[in-house]
């Protein structure tokens, strides 16, 4: 069967729209949370509401992580385009439901969390099958470029969501969800009218036991990590909680059972044999570690900008979410410039050079951020963000192309789902890993620094000790949400109004908290960026070990027979 030139560009433009919408909504809520919680009448920093806040962010990411393999497998069985089109419908319906939340308070938060989960299912359908659709539609020598555009758009959407969310939240919190409705309706109609099945669906039995153990096990592990961020029993984090430890252990046990099941069923959900392909295994390991490092970078930069740098430079706390997104644009620019170019060049020169070189740049940018002072010079900061974005762009497109080209044609759906699972799981894991590292860094020095600073501004010693003894996660979330932590901590009990006016003005000003917390925060940053640099370096090593040959032999034979391309029969790719 030939692939008309026009269809492949239609497939690229439609799937790029789909993954942009899915990735944008993965991050658009992060910046908009203060406006959303104010809109439903809920204080996001009240201890009882921290769970709502976390699940508003993580519900979407968790569902996206645990379902993409199953949905990719279903795409192989029933049609990738069919599953992709259904994802557009589900995503659009969920976006509309989110924008018409009829409740307030905790009920309103549960409505949003529930529909965010449904939205995540639609997003997982889009991301699980988009790469497989493109791999079917494009010939081998153009595949890196096509997957590069698609992949970089998805990654850039994560950072563009921060800017878009900040802008829309200024108008109305419901606009954060409205924006996806017309895009979803347009994409749904367009995909149903224009996309077609190029790869033949392969009839198979559904692996019910494999699906159950994988979804339940992965969800348990990610949920345990989520609750590990929250304080427990006087500890700054919940890693000693029996529920966290038990949930994590049960999740690991279920995933081990899943691996056993998959080796014994005739039609497994996840093809563990694909990990015998070195390019596939090395590419996915590198993608997982890079996703964890990238997610940590995103959250730490938001806290750094919103909690310290922007207030020190005169920005009101309420405006810092929007400006944090704007000041992070060099990261997105690096993605957009390097991604498609490296995808195109990797079609000619192979994936290893660009993927490994890109990750080396990412590791170097983390070390550069580590060397910056807390109150940095923006040009140096922007240059490091651009280098990090360019390095991630250089890695992502060739790596995706190498992974997808290394597997047999009939297993592209499950391979695409497995690739997305590693990437989405990394995004979810990054929150638990890096928040825990930052909290550990703050816990050692923040209480003493905060107590001394408050007493110096006439806050009674007992009250200062009480505020300083609160879990560091409260301070982190306050900075993360663009709220003045001191004003929130002291104003909630009326203590602020009892202080002399000049002390009250100093405490709620733009410089007191950033100057007070800069030392402890930098200690936390050292832990975070050191871990991120190590992950990027290990990912670079894994990428370098992918080997020189990454094109599956069946793929070359198919392109030679059906497309008459001489270039696909030139020996091993390098």
Give me the DSSP letters along 5-26: HHHHHHHHHHHHHHHHHHHHHH
Query: What tens digit of pLDDT does each residue of 121-170 get?
Result: 998 888 888 878 888 888 877 776 787 777 777 777 877 787 788 788 87
Among the residue ranges 53-57, 335-339, 425-429, 562-566, the one predicted with the least confidence is: 562-566
Q: CB 256: neighbour CB atoms within 10 A? A: 12
Mean pLDDT of 354-368: 93
- Asked whether residue 114 falls in the same domain as residue 162, the answer is yes
- The pair of structure tokens assigned to 118 is 């449904």
pLDDT-derived band at 86 (thresholds 50, 70, 90) equals very high
Together in a domain, 390 and 494 = no
Tell me the average pLDDT across 502-507: 86
User: Does residue 71 contact residue 128 with C-beta atoms inside 8 Å?
Assistant: yes
Listed residues 268, 300, 318: the one ending a domain: 268
Render pLDDT for 265-282 as a digit per residue (tens, 0 to 9).
877 777 778 888 888 888
Both 256 and 301 in one domain: the answer is no
- Residue ending a domain, among 268, 295, 311, is 268
Q: How far apart are CA 261 and CA 563, in angstroms?
A: 39
Q: Is the pLDDT of residue 113 over 70?
A: yes
What is the average pLDDT across 19-33? Answer: 83
Shared domain for 411 and 357, answered yes or no, is yes
Greatest mean pLDDT range, 100-114, 218-232, 293-307, 550-564:
100-114
Do residues 59 and 184 share a domain? yes
Judge if 229 and 273 occupy the same domain. no
220, part of any domain: yes
Coil/strand/helix, residue 232: strand
Asked if 408 and 552 count as a contact pair (C-beta separation under 8 A), the reply is yes
Provide the total of helices (H) and of strands (E) in the chain, helices listed first.
22, 0
Quickly list H helices, 372-484.
378-405, 412-455, 461-468, 472-480
Total number of residues shown for the chain: 574
Q: Which of 221, 238, 268 is the last residue of a domain?
A: 268
CA distances from 277 to 199, 274, 283, 287, 571 (A): 22, 6, 10, 15, 18
- Residue that is written with structure tokens 């599953």 in the block: 83
Q: Which residue has the tokens 């970089």?
A: 152
Residues 138 and 212 in one domain: no
At 204, the pLDDT band (50, 70, 90 cuts) reads low
Q: Could you report how far apart the first and last alpha carbons of the chain are, in Å?
A: 28
Residue 530 lies in a domain: yes
Residue located via tokens 């529909």: 115
Query: Of 104, 94, 112, 118, nearest to 54 (Cα)?
Result: 112
What pLDDT does residue 554 have? 52
In a domain, 574, yes or no: no
Judge whether 559 and 139 are in contact, CB under 8 Å. Answer: yes
Say if 146 falls within a structural domain.
yes
Task: Give me the chain's average pLDDT, please.
Answer: 81
Same domain, 243 and 162: no
b/e burial code for range 359-380 (CB count within 10 A of at least 16 → b) = bbbbbbbbebbbebebebeeee
- Which parts of 305-374 fold into alpha helices (H)? 310-312, 320-327, 329-349, 352-371
Question: What residues are paired with 232 via a beta bridge?
Answer: 235
The residue among 487, 496, 486, 488 whose CA lies nearest residue 460 is 496
pLDDT value, residue 495: 77
Q: Compute, in degrees rounded to 10, the torsion defined by CA atoms 27, 30, 31, 32.
A: 110
pLDDT of residue 543: 87
CB atoms within 10 A of CB 322: 22
Range of the domain at 238: 207-268
Average pLDDT on 255-272 reads 83
Residue 552's pLDDT is 55
497 burial (CB, 10 Å; 0-12 / 13-18 / 19+) is exposed
Distance CA(335)–CA(158), nearest Å, equals 11
Both 417 and 452 in one domain: the answer is no
Burial of 469 (C-beta count, 10 Å sphere; 0-12/13-18/19+)? exposed
- With tokens 């966290």, the residue in question is 244
Same domain, 212 and 314: no
Q: Are residues 150 and 245 located together in one domain of the fold?
A: no
pLDDT at 45 over 80: no
Task: Compute the distance between CA of residue 465 and CA of residue 455 in angstroms, rounded to an integer.
Answer: 9
Q: What is the CA radius of gyration of the chain?
A: 24
Contact (Cβ atoms closer than 8 angstroms) between residue 128 and residue 417: yes
As to burial, measured by CB atoms within 10 angstroms (0-12 exposed, 13-18 middle, 19+ buried), residue 193 is exposed
Rounded Cα gap, residues 376 and 94, in angstroms: 41
Identify which has the larger pLDDT, 516 or 250. Answer: 250
Are residues 459 and 431 both part of a single domain?
no
Q: Could you report the per-residue pLDDT of 439-486, keeping only the tens digit for each?
A: 777 777 788 888 888 898 888 888 888 877 777 777 777 666 666 777
Q: Say if 105 falls within a structural domain.
A: yes
- Check if the beta carbon of residue 116 is closer than 8 Å to that of residue 56: yes
Closest alpha carbon to 473 in 443, 450, 444, 449: 443
Distance between CA atoms of residues 271 and 77, nearest Å: 14
Which CATH number do you get for residue 149? 1.20.1250.20
- pLDDT bracket for residue 97 (50, 70, 90): very high
Using alpha carbons only, what angle is made at residue 127 by residues 125 and 132, rounded to the nearest 5 degrees? Answer: 100
Residue 550, pLDDT above cutoff 60: no
- How many separate domains does the chain show? 3
pLDDT at residue number 572: 37
Per DSSP, what are the bridge partners of residue 235?
232
């Amino acid at each position: 069967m030939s692939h008309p030139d026009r269809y492949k560009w239609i497939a690229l433009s439609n799937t790029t729209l789909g993954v942009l919408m899915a990735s944008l909504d993965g991050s658009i809520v992060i910046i908009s949370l203060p406006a959303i919680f104010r809109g439903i009448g809920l204080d996001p920093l009240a201890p009882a509401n921290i769970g709502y806040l976390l699940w508003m962010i993580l519900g979407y990411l968790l569902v996206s992580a645990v379902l993409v393999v199953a949905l990719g497998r279903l795409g192989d069985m029933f049609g990738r385009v069919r599953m992709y089109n259904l994802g557009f419908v589900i995503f659009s319906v969920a976006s509309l439901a989110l924008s018409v939340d009829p409740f307030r308070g905790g009920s309103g938060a549960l409505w949003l969390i529930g529909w965010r989960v449904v939205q995540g299912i639609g997003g997982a359908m889009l991301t699980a099958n988009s790469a497989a659709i493109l791999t079917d539609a494009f010939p081998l020598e153009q595949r890196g470029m096509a997957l590069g555009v698609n992949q970089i758009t998805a990654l850039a959407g994560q950072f563009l969501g921060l800017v878009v969310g900040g802008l829309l939240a200024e108008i109305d919190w419901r606009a954060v969800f409205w924006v996806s409705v017309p895009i979803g309706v347009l994409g749904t109609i367009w995909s149903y009218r224009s996309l077609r099945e190029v790869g033949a669906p392969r009839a198979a039995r559904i692996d019910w036991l494999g699906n159950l153990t994988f979804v339940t096990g992965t969800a348990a592990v990610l949920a345990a990590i989520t609750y590990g961020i929250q304080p427990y029993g006087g500890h700054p984090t919940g890693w000693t909680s029996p529920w966290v430890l038990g949930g994590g252990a049960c999740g690991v046990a279920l995933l081990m059972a899943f691996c056993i099941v998959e080796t014994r069923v005739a039609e497994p959900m996840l093809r563990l044999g694909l990990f015998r392909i070195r390019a596939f295994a090395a590419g996915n390991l590198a993608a997982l570690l890079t996703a964890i490092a990238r997610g940590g970078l995103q959250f730490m930069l938001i806290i750094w900008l919103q909690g310290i740098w922007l207030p020190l430079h005169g920005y009101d706390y309420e405006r810092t979410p929007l400006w944090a997104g704007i000041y992070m644009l060099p990261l997105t620019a690096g993605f957009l410039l390097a991604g498609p170019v490296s995808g195109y060049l990797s079609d000619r020169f192979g994936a290893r050079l660009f993927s490994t070189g890109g990750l080396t740049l990412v590791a170097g940018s983390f070390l550069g951020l580590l060397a910056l002072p807390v109150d940095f010079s923006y040009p140096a900061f922007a240059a490091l963000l651009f280098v990090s974005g360019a390095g991630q762009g250089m890695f992502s497109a060739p790596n995706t192309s190498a992974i997808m080209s290394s597997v047999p044609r009939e297993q592209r759906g499950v391979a695409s789902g497995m690739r997305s699972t590693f990437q989405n799981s990394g995004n979810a894991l990054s929150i638990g890993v890096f928040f825990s590292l930052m909290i550990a860094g703050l816990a050692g020095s923040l209480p003493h620094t905060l107590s001394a600073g408050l007493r110096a501004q006439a806050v009674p010693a007992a009250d200062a000790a009480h505020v300083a003894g609160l879990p560091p996660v409260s301070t982190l979330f306050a900075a993360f949400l663009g709220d003045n932590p001191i004003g929130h901590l002291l104003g909630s009990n009326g203590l602020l109004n009892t202080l002399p006016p000049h002390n009250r003005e100093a405490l709620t000003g733009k410089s007191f908290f950033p100057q007070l917390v800069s030392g402890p925060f930098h200690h936390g940053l050292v832990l975070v960026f050191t871990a991120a640099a190590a992950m990027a370096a290990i990912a670079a090593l894994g990428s370098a070990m992918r080997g020189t040959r990454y094109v599956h032999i069946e793929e070359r034979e198919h392109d030679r027979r059906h497309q008459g391309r001489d270039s696909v029969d030139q020996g091993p790719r390098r």
